[in-house]
Amino acid sequence: MVKPAVGTLDLVSKTSQGIKNTTSVSTEPKRQRIRLPRYFGPDRALRVYSEDEAIGQSLLWNAEGGRFAGEWYHFHQELGNGKLIVSNRHIIMTEQERWFAPIKLVRGLQLTGRHIVLLFVKPVTAISMLEQLTNIKLLKPLVAYDVEQLRLVYQQLINSIRVLRQERM
């Protein structure tokens, strides 16, 4: 009769101790991330961790207070007039210039010696009141006259737009 009573008291004691421990404020410092969360594409396939893709996804999801968080990251590039981010739905420019436009409104692209000309069917949405409403946007290289960077971005844009338009059909 003594053993069951001791066992019951022990159970109550340990249960109350556990409840107390879970409700008390932890004095341990919060853990900090070592790296950004892994990028998952629309296919949800687990790939080798890519810091570049993780950064791009983070830029997309945090752009304009999370406005584009439900979209899939495609690529990003730091340019002379801001960070260009391409998702499955939008082309977004952040930092110095701040605007975005749906990919379906892209009418054409042209590579010149100094910049890439993006032509839209109608004016793009300006995030900043300082931006002019226009249907033409120029993408400038990070370093003046960096033709190689322009070629790379131009090719990525063409490929992305082509792939994304085919996915919509």
Note the pLDDT tens digit of each residue in 6-58: 667 676 677 767 676 665 555 667 788 888 888 888 888 888 999 999 999 99
Q: How far apart are CA 167 and CA 169, in angstroms?
A: 6
Which tops the pLDDT comparison, 26 or 88?
88
Q: Quote helix, strand, coil % in the chain, to nearest 5.
A: 35, 25, 40
Domain chopping of the chain, boundaries: 51-168
Q: How far apart are CA 139 and CA 143, in angstroms?
A: 12
pLDDT at 20: 67
Q: What 3-state class would DSSP assign to 128?
A: coil
Given a cut of 70, whether residue 169 has pLDDT beyond it is no
**H, E, C per residue of 27-42:** CCCCCCCCCCCCCCCC
Q: CA 167: distance to chain centroid?
A: 20
CATH architecture group of domain 51-168? Roll (2.30)
Which tops the pLDDT comparison, 91 or 28?
91
